Amino acid sequence: MSILSGKKVLLGISGGIAAYKSAILVRSLIKAGASVKVVMTESAKEFVTPLTLSTLSKHPVLSSFVNEEDENDVWNSHVDLGLWADLMVVAPATANTLSKMSNGVCDNLLLATYLSAKCPVFVAPAMDLDMYKHPSTSKSLEKLRSFGNTVIPAGTGELASGLVGEGRMAEPDDIVAFICDHLKRQAPLFGKKVLITAGPTHEPIDPVRFIGNRASGKMGFELAHCAADMGAEVTLISGPTHLEVANTEITLVRVVTARDMYEKVHEYYPHTDIVVMAAAVADFRPSKVADQKIKKKTAKMEIALEPTQDILASLGKAKQGQYLVGFALETENEMENAQGKLERKHLDAIVLNSLNDEGAGFDKPTNKITFIDNRGKSVPFALKSKTEVAADIFNQILLRLNAQEN
């Protein structure tokens, strides 16, 4: 998974020999998690077939405004295509297409879609050396940049003419890497290090039994994915859970007990900008852990418990510029208890959820929260999926961080 995961990418292909690479580019974009639709010029069909591209993209490939085989078919709307896309990539972008794009010429579906697009547009030039160096091409690229488009630098190497020089379309994997890097740099959390905890902790009674809770870890994992999608470098410290991460910007550190989590959190804490403690850490652990499995000898068994280390409070005391967010799962006097926890533990904000709210709490796909900051402002949210809740939480954090900076 990458920052392109879930993004809708419109790939425009113009008629140059580098169009043969577009099939590989479609695969690379899909591998990065994107959904891809293809618009191509008529001349591009001479280098790569629509059948190949539609098979790879799982979408029909469009090249004209109407279906010439069926005059009663619905026209292909360039407006709808432009609105569908989260970003548009024109690769290869020939000298002819670059010139038309920069001058507002609109004589095919690809160009009409480009002029309708509201999303970021990337162009990957591809042509022979002399064409690439010609002043008119340089002017086209300069104008496209001035319009807010992003030019993916052409590579250097052997060209179709046999010459060696600049003008090769960047390789498909390099195009995807360039786009990902560009999106990360534009993302609101780029350059930030985020630490998140998730899941339960298991406090052993003996080698086979433990004290735990019903936390699934889903809320913390969704927070980690959200932060990574926003461009952050994320460390996710998780108690026992079956959940996995696929985003390369997330470092997953697995722990078992509260003591394990305490040590790992404090290891990463000094180098962190934002901390969200979503884990349901056990408040108590057995005072003594049996070396062997405890046999059932009587009808009763008593286990002496002792408190675990309060990780959140320890972070509040050690805070040196980090934005620290805790969670409060309450069953009574919810707002009062959450605000008390925020103050006692020196937090910047706390996320309140109540087991009294249907659909909220442990091991559910949804949650209902109230975001409360240390200035007394509270923002309630409706019941939402935990993916949406994670976005709400980070949007609230960003609002406050941006206010501090301004």
Give the pair of three-digit tokens for residue 41: 């010029």
Taking the C-alpha atoms of residue 56 and residue 36, their distance in angstroms, rounded to an integer, is 9
Of 296, 302, 220, 309, the closest CA to residue 263 belongs to 309
Task: Return the DSSP state at 271.
Answer: G
- Angle separating helix axes 218-229 and 386-405, nearest 10 degrees: 50
| Cβ partners under 8 Å of residue 283, min gap 6 | 307, 308
The SS3 assignment for 150 reads strand
Taking the C-alpha atoms of residue 269 and residue 312, their distance in angstroms, rounded to an integer, is 11
Catalytic status, residue 96? no
In 127-282, beta strands by DSSP E: 150-151, 155-158, 164-168, 193-198, 203-204, 210-211, 233-238, 250-254, 274-277
| Cβ partners under 8 Å of residue 304, min gap 6 | 286, 287, 288
Q: Is the peptide bond preceding residue 380 cis, with omega within 30 degrees of 0? A: no
> Which residue in the block uniquely carries the two structure tokens 């900076």?
405
The SS3 assignment for 202 reads coil
- Which entry of 213, 337, 374, 395 is annotated as an active-site residue? 213
Known catalytic residues are 213
